[in-house]
A and B are shown apart, each in its own frame.
Chain A
Amino acid sequence: MSPRVRLVLFLLGAAGFLTTGVLAVLGAPPVGTDVHPYRDAAVAGALAHATANVVSTVNYDQRALDTLGEETILLASVTAAVALLRPADDERVDVPPPDVVRSRSPATRLAGWLLLPATLLVGLDVVLHGHLTPGGGFQGGVVLATAVHLLYLAGSFAALERLRPRRWAPVAEPVGALGFVGLGVAGSVAGVGFLGGVLPFGTLGDPLSSPTVILLNVAVGIGVGFGLVVLVAQFLRQEVLVR
């Protein structure tokens, strides 16, 4: 297809998209009004199940099935990316280079080692308080995976290879997804429906309120954290070791 034909096709598509978009906006309530029927329904559900963070109650209680789908997409694309980044038959994998710690400036190393435990703590906090404050398994999992990779910035690739749970991280990621399904099945067995809350909801704002949301957040945090570790590990190995 010549660039000119491509451009004409794009312009036609863009014009159609923008026309339908403008028509849709003209028929929709303007931004900022107080008409939010889904909000009202979600808040009623959050209050009934004592979950302070209404976004979490949507993700892990009212529409937890959707989050299971999202977790599966994550698992599938991490698996696919890892399969794509395997060394091919005609490539060889170098031994990890010796510690090049001295090539990092002392200030970078100090900052990294100080930030490593702090970032791990923040990640755990974000995962475990996802039912009360903004956060949850997805966000906290990303923070946790970032913490592990401070080892690479502050230490060396060799340090990361040694300490990173590379052997069992690929196993731990599906364990997160399995935990999610397991909690769902527990709901079915208890008779409250797939992914229904089995445990008592508690009181709103209490650290241990809505325990099912906490457990699902932990399952997602495990899946996302280890999934990201595996993914970044594969990209890094490709860059550093595969020739």
Chain B
Amino acid sequence: MTTLLTVVAFGTAFWLVVVGAYGILRSDDLVHAVVSLSVAQSGTYILLLAVGYQRDATIPILGAGGAGSTPIVDPVVQAMTLTDVVVSATVTALLLALTVQIAKRHGTVDPDALRELRG
């Protein structure tokens, strides 16, 4: 059972990273590429949360649900996941702003059509 959980959790994490990278590779639209990057990043959330998971453990809030005797899941990786989500969201916003400018300047958001250098 533990082996199955390990395979599913880590397998999902690695699969999301690879499939997100493949999405960027095959992308013919920069918005699609930005979303693919978010998919790849969500693999890291699964990885972090899987590392911190403990069977039958409760939430990392002390004093709730009788924590003290009940073990809690690892809060350190949850804090890292929170950081990860925030950074991912801000990077997405920045990349989408870049996409808006590229669409205005070049009239296309197809990365393969953006070959020329300007200026």
Q: Shortest Cβ distance from A52 into chain B, in angstroms?
A: 5
Q: Does B113 contact A (CB under 8 A)?
A: no
Q: What separation, in Å, do the CA atoms of A235 and B86 have in the docked complex?
A: 19
B1-48 contacts to A, CB under 8 A, are: 2-3, 5-6, 9-10, 14, 17-18, 21-22, 25
Interface of B is mostly: helix
A88, B102: Cα distance in complex, Å: 13
Q: Which residue of B lies closest to A24 (CB)?
A: B10
Given known A10-B25, A25-B10, A81-B97, contact A134–B59 (CB-CB < 8 A): yes
Q: Chain A residues near B62 (CB, 8 Å)? A: 43, 46-47, 51-54, 204-205
CA distance A14 to B44 in the complex (A): 15
CA distance A47 to B93 in the complex (A): 37
A59: which B residues are within 8 A, CB to CB? 79, 82-83
User: With the chains together, A201 CA to B79 CA distance in Å?
Assistant: 21
Task: Answer whether residue A70 sits at the interface, using C-beta atoms and an 8 A cutoff.
Answer: yes
- Contact A21-B10, Cβ < 8 Å, known A10-B25, A58-B76, A77-B91: yes
Is A33 a contact partner of B75 (Cβ separation < 8 A)?
no
Stretch at the interface among A34-42, A112-120, A146-154, A156-164: A34-42
Whether A74 lies near B90 (C-beta < 8 A) is yes
CB of A39, distance to nearest CB on chain B (Å): 4
With A52-B62, A238-B100: A38-B14 Cβ-Cβ less than 8 Å? no
Number of A residues with CB within 8 Å of any CB on chain B? 55
Task: Name the interface residues of A126-185: CB closer than 8 Å to any CB of B.
Answer: 132-134, 136, 138
Cβ–Cβ < 8 Å partners of B118 in chain A: none
- A residues near B (Cβ < 8 Å) are 6-7, 10, 13-14, 17-18, 21, 25, 28, 30-34, 36, 38-39, 42-43, 46-47, 51-55, 57-59, 63, 66-67, 70, 73-74, 77-78, 80-81, 84-85, 88, 132-134, 136, 138, 204-205, 224, 231, 234-235, 238
The residues of B with any CB-CB pair to A shorter than 8 Å are 2-3, 5-6, 9-10, 14, 17-18, 21-22, 25, 50-55, 57, 59-64, 71-79, 82-83, 86-87, 90-91, 93-94, 96-98, 100-101, 104
